[in-house]
Structure 1
């Protein structure tokens, strides 16, 4: 089962940082079991939200050079406040180190200005074709999917930055005006 845990990208500085939000609602399936009578966003999904935000930062920074951007490791995780339905998890991630195949970031999530989660995450990136040449077409399809999804998540940021409009609308159709 896959969860999309980023509802909006508010800020993005390629190669530097990203700010994104997850709006938690009672409609989230996993809340029925976590916890009965006191629904809260599970800690592992807070980490997943941080890794999804980091993946978007990496994709945009590298102009979608890699089809796969995945969480490799998590260190120094600390949990604070619960995130309950009706509240937002605000995720901020900053690049600490960027190499050819990995990016380490300092990430945190807050709700109503109070720390909910923080830690250091390492993201790994690669193309499927590098592991199996026959998957080159899959790389193209995956990248196309993310390029199509990005403007929907980053519409506010896109409206603020000309560079971002060029990323989302490379042919200049004016769709992001």
Structure 2
């Protein structure tokens, strides 16, 4: 098992503020699964408008955080050899379910596993949890492209 701090994450993901949504990797089993963390702060720019009277993390950003964890898993698993020139794109998102709102102060635990890879199309099962409770789950499909 491996871990990654923010400095190593920045070497793999092209995302930067305000769209970098993975703060740390707690564990990674190459070719299989990853557990990562997104610490949700009231200082996130999206809370200014979503919603000022009741701040809730937008569901699309939770899904994006899961996708970023999936990209880290794939890159660390040797899915693409030239990580600096590779961008991951969503191809599909299926069976998304939002079970509970994510609020400022929550620590979002992102759990992603590889279901399969066929001809450059990666399929994942992803879930996000707060305090060991499921908040979001989805099936993700991504592909890598050199830029």
Question: What secondary structure does 1:57 align onto?
Answer: helix
**1:54 alignment partner in structure 2:** 70
Give the Cα separation in 1 of the matches to 2:90 and 2:34: 16
Question: What secondary structure does 2:103 align onto?
Answer: coil
Structure 1: which 4+ aligned runs deviate by more than 2 Å? none
Match of 1:69 among 69, 76, 88: 88
The CA RMSD over aligned residues, in Å, is 1.4
**1:86 alignment partner in structure 2:** 105
**2:60 alignment partner in structure 1:** 44
Match runs of 1:1-177 below 5 Å: 3-62=19-78, 64-66=80-82, 67-128=86-147
In the alignment, structure 2 segments of 5+ residues that lack a partner are 1-16
Deviation at 1:77, TM superposition (A): 0.4
Change in Cα spacing, 1:63 to 1:95, as seen in structure 2 (3 Å) is: closer
Deviation at 1:91, TM superposition (A): 0.5
Higher normalized strand content (fraction of residues): 2
Query: How many residues matched?
Result: 128
Question: What secondary structure does 2:27 align onto?
Answer: strand
Give the Cα separation in 2 of the matches to 1:99 and 1:68: 18
TM normalised by structure 2 equals 0.82
Paired residues of 1:54 and 1:93 also in contact (CA < 8 A):
yes
TM normalised by structure 1 equals 0.69
Higher normalized helix content (fraction of residues): 1
Question: What secondary structure does 1:81 align onto?
Answer: coil
Paired residues of 1:51 and 1:70 also in contact (CA < 8 A):
no
User: Which is higher, the Rg of structure 1 or of structure 2?
Assistant: 1
In the alignment, structure 1 segments of 5+ residues that lack a partner are 129-177
Give the Cα separation in 2 of the matches to 1:70 and 1:63: 14
